[in-house]
Structure 1
Amino acid sequence: MTTFSRKPLLTFQSFSLKILWIFFPILPKKPAENRDSLIYCIMLMFIKIFINHWIYRWSIQCDMGLTLSKIFMLYLSIMTISYIFDAQMIIVRIATQDKYTLESYTDSPILSLSLGEFWGQRYNRIVHKVLREAIFEPIRSELSSSNIAGFMTFIVSGLLHVHVCIAVFQNTSSAFPTFMFFIIHGIGCCLEKIMKIKFPKFIRWIITHIFILITSPLMFQPFIEKGSPFLMLNPPLFIDVEWTPKLPVPNFCPQ
């Protein structure tokens, strides 16, 4: 990724190591670091597996179109798909006797109390670190503006997601809605910093996730419109493994 910084470019070795870290973000575990216990991580991973697989099996039998129920199911599925990264982290911690760990993919994004917290601290933290180092920090240091740097980061992230969307679905019809999703969220994050309105935590949580759900059709529509055939061609990891308990799927489709 091209950086906006005027500082000297990285050496090829340093750049290669950064690329490698993106795919295998291993970190030394500091003795005093407050990390969740392995037992807790394993339990949380299984809970995510149960929920994710349950939603998947329910979704493939319910082609509901672009409805609020379908959006919520897909949203919950995305929030729990991180069990794949949890499994990798658990393996690394066990193999290294808890001396090393992996950078967590998410940090309970469902608990976010603001858009800034959702995108900046809890969701897709690996990509966040890359964009922060390559886009946000250089622009902020040049322009001395966190809002401009943050908005530019959302623009770049939107363009990356547009590329992925076109590559996956082989059409450009979803490019503009996908890009607008990130533009709207970039504006939302800027307004949060400018207005600095304080609400009780529960109200902030409700506002944040209602905003995400209301705007998510811009991002989720191409996935939902592909329906069950697309889901069946892209099953989640471990879906056919016998040792994973299967929660019963309701015999109705939510409206």
Structure 2
Amino acid sequence: MYLGIELVLALCAAPVRTLFGFEIEPQFNEPYLSTSLQDFWGRRWNLMVTRTLRLTVYNPIRHVIKSNVGSTWANYIATLATFVVSGLMHEIIYYYLTRVSPTWEVTWFFVLHGVFTSVEVAVKKIALRRGWRLHRAISGPLTLAFLAVTGNWLFFPPLERNGVVTKAIGEYAIMVDFVKDKLPLHLFS
């Protein structure tokens, strides 16, 4: 999925760079190097959406409830709320892609990640107070494995069931052919 999104973004960025002479801000920061769910979702994956959700969901919820539940619980509740909103946004996107009623698998993917991200943060705080830290050679593969397992369990099945992957591959091919036809040949030599 990462490579597909990177390809689409690169194809969109090339004309902007050519026509306007500036770079579009990257949307990913080497997500395959993530050492935790917090690192993946907060600093490496889909950065524009991360910033938008932080400003529109996480920060306001945290601010409103902090005085009632305290800073720690406000962080956890705001994190979970942010993941729920992301899940609902993805359900809408899936609906527009498939025109099939939601199965809520995608929302559960994000709820699960919200819960596990909050648990991870809590466990890391306790571990750091005790002077213990999981080495990145262990935490990195564990993070990627969790993403792969939960993604294959809850995130990708609705797309695969409804033929979105096959349609997307066909559309990528059409887009590449269109770009090749419209750009001067010397760019592909």
TM-score over 0.5 for the pair = yes
Q: Please report how far the alpha carbon of residue 175 of structure 1 lies from its aligned counterpart in structure 2 after TM superposition.
A: 2.7
Which is helix-richer, 1 or 2? 2
- 1:116-170 Cα shifts (integer Å, max 9, x gaps): 1111111111111111111111112222322211111001111111122223222
**Aligned counterpart, 1:149:** 78
- 1:35-56 Cα shifts (integer Å, max 9, x gaps): xxxxxxxxxxxxxxxxxxxxxx
Give me the TM-score of the superposition, normalised by structure 2. 0.75
Identity of aligned residues (%): 26
CA distance 1:92–1:168, shift in 2 (3 Å):
closer
Question: 1:86, 1:129 → 2: CA distance?
Answer: 20
State yes or no: 1:167 paired with 2:96: yes
Question: 2:61, 2:23 → 1: CA distance?
Answer: 31
2:112 pairs with 151, 159, 184, which one? 184
Check the 8 A contact 1:165/1:175 in 2, yes or no.
no
- CA RMSD after TM alignment: 2.6
Long gaps (5+) in structure 1: 1-77, 246-255
**Aligned counterpart, 2:171:** 235
Letter of the 1:214 partner, please give it.
Answer: V
Letter of the 2:7 partner, please give it.
Answer: Y
Question: 2:135, 2:59 → 1: CA distance?
Answer: 31
Equivalent positions of 1:1-255 (< 5 A) are: 78-81=1-4, 82-89=6-13, 91-93=15-17, 100-144=22-66, 145-172=74-101, 174-196=102-124, 197=127, 198-216=133-151, 217-227=153-163, 231-232=166-167, 234-236=170-172, 238-240=175-177, 241=180
Check the 8 A contact 2:105/2:158 in 1, yes or no.
no
Secondary structure at the aligned position of 1:175 is classed as coil
Question: 1:88, 1:137 → 2: CA distance?
Answer: 31
Runs of 4+ with deviation above 6 angstroms? 242-245
CA distance 1:185–1:95, shift in 2 (3 Å):
same
CA distance 1:222–1:92, shift in 2 (3 Å):
same
Secondary structure at the aligned position of 2:23 is classed as strand
Check the 8 A contact 1:166/1:175 in 2, yes or no.
no
- Provide the aligned length of Structure 1 versus Structure 2: 164
Long gaps (5+) in structure 2: 67-73, 128-132
Letter of the 2:98 partner, please give it.
Answer: F
Letter of the 1:184 partner, please give it.
Answer: L
